[in-house]
């Protein structure tokens, strides 16, 4: 069983969401996860938020656990993270609501020295 944490550092630019999706897809494939789409979609949502709301680098990690896989996205922003209710015609603002609905669990860890790690879990 592969229990190594996979990690990638990304710059705060729009193309990082695609880079993160591909990275997570490969990590989940190595773990033998059949349904990788949820993990890649939710990663894309979190990385997009980090690109939009943080000025510094972004770190994505894939943590295998006994019955799940935890994927975290770390950025340097202290801005709070919370799901929002948005109008049906809105073109953005749904990312955290999607994470809340699709992940088996999720949360935010404040980091010493500033920044945060937003994480979610998908079944293993």
What is the domain count for the chain? 1
What CATH number is attached to the domain comprising 110?
Answer: 3.30.565.10
Cβ–Cβ contacts within 10 Å for residue 15, how many?
Answer: 10
Structural domain includes residue 41 = yes
Site of tokens 């656990």: 65
- The pLDDT of 19-32, averaged and rounded, is 97
The answer, yes or no, to whether residue 1 has pLDDT greater than 60, is: no
* Residue 1: inside a domain: no
Whether the pLDDT of residue 95 is over 90: the answer is no
pLDDT at 2: 62
As a whole-number percent, the residues of the chain with pLDDT over 90 amount to 69
| Residues contacting 9, CB < 8 A, separation 6+ | 57, 58, 59
pLDDT confidence of residue 85: 63
pLDDT, residue 113, reads 85
In a domain, 76, yes or no: yes
Q: Considering the entire predicted model, what is its pTM?
A: 0.90
Angle, vertex CA 77, rays to CA 13 and CA 19, nearest 5: 30
Instruction: Note whether residue 75 is domain-resident.
Output: yes
Domain residues for the domain of 34 are 6-123
């Amino acid at each position: 069983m592969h229990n190594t944490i996979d990690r990638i550092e990304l710059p705060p630019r729009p193309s990082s969401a695609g880079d993160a999706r591909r990275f997570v897809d490969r990590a989940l494939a190595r773990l033998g996860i059949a349904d990788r789409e949820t993990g890649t979609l939710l990663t894309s949502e979190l990385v997009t938020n980090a690109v939009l709301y943080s000025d510094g680098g972004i770190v994505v990690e894939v943590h295998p656990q006994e019955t799940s896989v935890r994927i975290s996205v770390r950025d340097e922003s202290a801005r709070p993270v919370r799901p929002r209710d948005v109008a049906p015609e809105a073109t953005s603002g749904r990312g955290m609501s999607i994470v809340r609905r699709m992940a088996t669990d999720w949360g935010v860890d404040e980091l010493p020295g500033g920044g945060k790690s937003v994480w979610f879990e998908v079944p293993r």
